[in-house]
């Protein structure tokens, strides 16, 4: 009985022939993957697959980035990533290239390039289409191209057109989708213990190819969903927008708590005890950030508007986030009891969350912009994201440590939940400051240490 070209090596059709040994089956199940795009998603995915025993060739157009990776250094900060990168490279399971052509013998290409906001709007597929088109032109028909980049709902249709155009010249690789559900700061763990593996087919005849991509994750024993690519694209977008909705809801509750004297942690804990709601992502802070949630809370309303479908709840999520960050600055001004214009504020934390050096759509930088617009001088500190923050906003003054950031400040604002901020020397901070206000939007500081230093502590939505 012939084997389908999409079955992974080691997935044998039942026959009367003797079965290979366990060691042989494990060796056969390891395949050669070609991964395009050495960004946060691509690198975590590459390391994750290498740790499953696959050989991964990572390709990127940035020669400097490839050289950095080949030297065993990660160009991004993700907990455990650099150590795992070195280990898998030393084990011979990873190599790096600027060559955009899949190596001979590779069975799958995994596309992890960006879908940024550009002149056409959020989730531009220009880079994805360029890479997929190039792969269709050079990869053999039995090859499978899996797009892991986040796509708009119309993205699969654009990819389908590329396949149809290529098929005019003869058989070509199947193209399927495989969105990621990993969090920055916990990317390796999320790859190793995924909530689900989802793959999508562009054409019904490619269901088996989509299943073959899902089978790459088999050792992880995750729930698997194989569906049409349009549904898969909406699964990805809807998941992130729903998470953003929970955060926005908690942030609005925090402002109500500030006004009424309630405590948002107690409120959300009580609400989250209902298993229909759950506590996950029901946490108040300075707002959503990163490369996914903010962009997708804009992309989904734009889609519904093009379709002429009223979605007032989905439409409100992005607006809620912007208004919340404005409200945080307004609250800071009220707590200071003096005009923000001419004041100096220390901003501790510049990354959009702890565990990463990513400042894309960072709430901290949004707050800095609001403060600058009010005429406030801002000095920022971050243990990992200082350089990326300065590249993103050259007007932001960067301090080498928290005490330097606090020098002559009327207030200190905690904007990122770095664990280091729990052990800040508040006595030294008090000596450096002009004022006495500490405004913690993440609920991470040691309350007793702040009080012992003679500082006035306010925490977003919480009683002190």
As annotated, the active-site residues are 292
308 contact partners, CB below 8 Å, separation of at least 6? none
Report d(CA 335, CA 347) in Å as an integer: 16
Name the nearest CA neighbour of 346 among 390, 379, 384.
379
> Residue 72, Cα to own-chain centre: how many angstroms?
23
Report d(CA 346, CA 405) in Å as an integer: 5
Q: How far lies 116's CA from each of 53, 66, 127, 361, in Å?
A: 31, 21, 9, 12
Q: How many CB atoms lie within 10 A of CB 374?
A: 17
Report d(CA 195, CA 275) in Å as an integer: 17
Report d(CA 414, CA 116) in Å as an integer: 28
Report d(CA 52, CA 46) in Å as an integer: 10
| Beta-carbon-side half-sphere exposure of residue 399 (alpha carbons within 13 Å) | 20
CA dihedral 413, 416, 418, 419 (to 10 degrees): 60
User: Tokens standing for 201?
Assistant: 């087919």
Q: How far lies 89's CA from each of 45, 65, 96, 113, in Å?
A: 14, 15, 9, 22
Q: How far lies 288's CA from each of 248, 285, 314, 416, 443, in Å?
A: 8, 8, 15, 11, 16
For the stretch 322-342, what's the b/e string if a residue is b when 16 or more beta carbons lie within 10 angstroms of its beta carbon? ebbbebbbebbbeebeeebee
Report d(CA 285, CA 263) in Å as an integer: 13
Name the nearest CA neighbour of 357 among 392, 402, 313.
392
User: Tokens standing for 100?
Assistant: 């955009």
């Amino acid at each position: 009985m012939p084997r389908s070209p999409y079955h992974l090596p080691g997935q044998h059709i039942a026959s009367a022939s003797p079965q290979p040994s366990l060691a042989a089956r494990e060796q056969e199940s390891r395949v050669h993957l070609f991964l395009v795009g050495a960004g946060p998603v691509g690198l975590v995915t590459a390391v994750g697959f290498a740790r499953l025993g696959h050989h991964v060739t990572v390709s990127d157009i940035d020669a400097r980035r490839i050289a950095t990776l080949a030297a065993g250094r990660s160009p991004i900060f993700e907990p455990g990533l650099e150590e795992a990168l070195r280990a898998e490279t030393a084990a011979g399971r990873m190599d790096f290239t600027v060559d955009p052509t899949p190596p001979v013998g590779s069975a799958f290409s995994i596309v992890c390039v960006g879908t940024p906001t550009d002149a056409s709007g959020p989730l531009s597929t220009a880079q994805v289409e360029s890479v997929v088109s190039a792969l269709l032109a050079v990869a053999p028909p039995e090859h499978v191209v899996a797009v892991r980049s986040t796509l708009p709902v119309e993205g699969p249709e654009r990819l389908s057109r590329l396949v149809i155009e290529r098929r005019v010249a003869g058989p070509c690789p199947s193209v399927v989708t495989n969105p990621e559900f990993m969090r920055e700061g916990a990317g390796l763990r999320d790859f190793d213990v995924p909530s689900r593996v989802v793959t999508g087919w562009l054409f019904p005849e490619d269901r088996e190819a989509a299943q073959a991509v899902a089978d790459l994750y088999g050792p992880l024993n995750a729930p698997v969903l194989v569906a049409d690519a349009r549904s898969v694209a909406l699964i990805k977008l809807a998941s992130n927008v729903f998470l953003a909705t929970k955060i926005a809801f908690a942030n609005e509750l925090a402002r109500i708590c500030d006004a009424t004297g309630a405590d948002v942690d107690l409120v959300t804990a009580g609400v989250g005890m209902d298993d229909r709601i759950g506590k996950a992502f029901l946490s108040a802070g300075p707002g959503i950030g990163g490369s996914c949630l903010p962009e997708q809370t804009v992309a989904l309303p734009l889609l519904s508007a093009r379709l002429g479908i009223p979605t007032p709840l989905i439409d409100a999520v992005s607006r809620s986030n912007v208004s919340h960050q404005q409200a945080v600055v307004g609250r800071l001004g009220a707590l200071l009891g003096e005009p923000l214009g001419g004041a100096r504020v220390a901003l501790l934390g510049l990354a959009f969350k702890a565990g990463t050096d990513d400042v894309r759509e960072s709430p901290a930088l949004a707050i800095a912009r609001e403060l600058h617009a009010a005429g406030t001088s801002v000095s920022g500190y971050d243990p990992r994201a200082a350089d990326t923050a300065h590249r993103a906003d050259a007007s932001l003054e960067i301090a080498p440590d928290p005490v330097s950031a606090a020098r002559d400040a009327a207030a200190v604002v905690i904007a990122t939940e770095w664990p280091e901020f729990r052990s800040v020397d508040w006595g030294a901070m008090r000596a450096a400051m002009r004022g006495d206000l500490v405004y913690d939007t993440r609920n991470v500081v040691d309350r007793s240490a702040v009080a012992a230093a003679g500082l006035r502590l306010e925490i977003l939505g919480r009683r002190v």
